[in-house]
Amino acid sequence: MSTGGPLNVLNGKHGISSRLRTVPVMNLIRKHKPQGRGELVDLIASHSKPENPCECGIKSTGTIEDFGKSLYNAQKNEWGQYIHTLEECITWEYNLFIINSLKGNVIEEKAIQEFRKHFKGWNISESSEKIDNDYRVDLVISDNHNHNKSGIQVKPETYKRMRGSVKLSNEMRNKQWGNPVFYLYYNKESNFINLEDVILSVNKAIRFSTLAISVSLLHTSGFVFFTFFFAIFNSLFVNIQFLY
């Protein structure tokens, strides 16, 4: 069972799998590095227990079964009937949170390696938890002084078909970061479909940033020179007046 179809529309429309209503699963994977599907299922469940919080600080609102129940119950409000069984809804959420997330983590690492081939001398890394949560950025490209230059969001091709409000929300978060963010898409075979375009865009962003810094330095240097020259001229003028 895939994560497309009517349940995908239902899930997106009602925000059932949003981070606030479920769990920031990619952060969970990065922190705990689960070795398999079962381990990730257990991690999501264990982080939903308020009486025993994990020191990593990540919290889940429930288990995969809970998320599936939320999807199942949403059918009645949306369609007036239960078209899919509870088991189908739980399986759908399992595929989304477990199979797709583990696959996404592998693909993010693959993207890092691809960008490192093309941007030697630059730092390509996973974003911090804050940047990921606040600005929806998966990968960060920075210089050797750790100045962020660009960000990458790694998404499945199906993301293009998500409801506009979700995409708009992410784009607004991207803009708040203050650096350009580009979307890298992959298909169901895990192959990137717009890698070359993103590489070109990142190159342009880096060149523009470098040019902007150079212009800023030139402007600053010119201002300093003018100030220095004016100070010398003023001093000479005062001395000439004193002589006369």
SS (H, E, C) 144-161: CCCCEEEEEEEEEHHHHH
In this prediction, residues 147-159 reach a mean pLDDT of 92
Q: pLDDT at position 59, please? A: 94
**Spatial separation of the C-alpha atoms in residues 38 and 34, rounded to whole Å:** 9
Whether the predicted pLDDT of 236 surpasses 80: no
Per residue in 179-199, pLDDT (tens digit) is: 999 999 999 899 999 999 999
In sequence order, what are the residues at sequence separation of 6 or more whose Cβ sits closer than 8 angstroms to the Cβ of residue 97? Answer: 17, 22, 23, 25, 40, 44, 64, 67
Q: What is the pLDDT of residue 232?
A: 55
Q: Which pLDDT band, with edges at 50, 70 and 90, does 44 fall under?
A: very high
Task: Report how far apart, in Å, the C-alpha atoms of 152 and of each of 35, 135, 213 are.
Answer: 25, 11, 22
What is the domain partition of the chain in residue ranges?
1-108
Cβ distance 161 to 152 under 8 Å?
Answer: no
DSSP state of 178: S
Tell me the mean pLDDT in the region 162-167: 81
What is the model's pLDDT at position 158? Answer: 84
d(CA 92, CA 63): 13
The stretch 204-223 carries a mean pLDDT of 64
pLDDT in tens, 4-13: 789 998 998 8
Identify the band that residue 123 occupies on the pLDDT scale cut at 50, 70 and 90.
Answer: very high
**Model confidence, pTM:** 0.72
Report residue 131 as tokens: 């940047």
Q: What is the pLDDT of residue 238?
A: 47
Average pLDDT score, the chain: 87
More confident residue, 48 or 230: 48
DSSP state of 19: G
Residue 140, helix vs strand vs coil: strand
Q: Is 10 helix (H, G, I), strand (E, B) or coil?
A: helix
Count of Cβ atoms closer than 10 Å to residue 144 Cβ: 8
pLDDT at 244 over 80: no
Can you give the pLDDT at residue 240?
45
Q: Give the model's confidence band at 243: pLDDT under 50 very low, under 70 low, under 90 confident, else very high.
A: very low
Q: How confident is the model at residue 219 (pLDDT cuts 50, 70, 90)?
A: low
Q: Which residue has the higher pLDDT, 129 or 238?
A: 129
The predicted model gives 199-220 an average pLDDT of 72
Structure-model confidence comparison of residues 21 and 158, the more confident one: 21
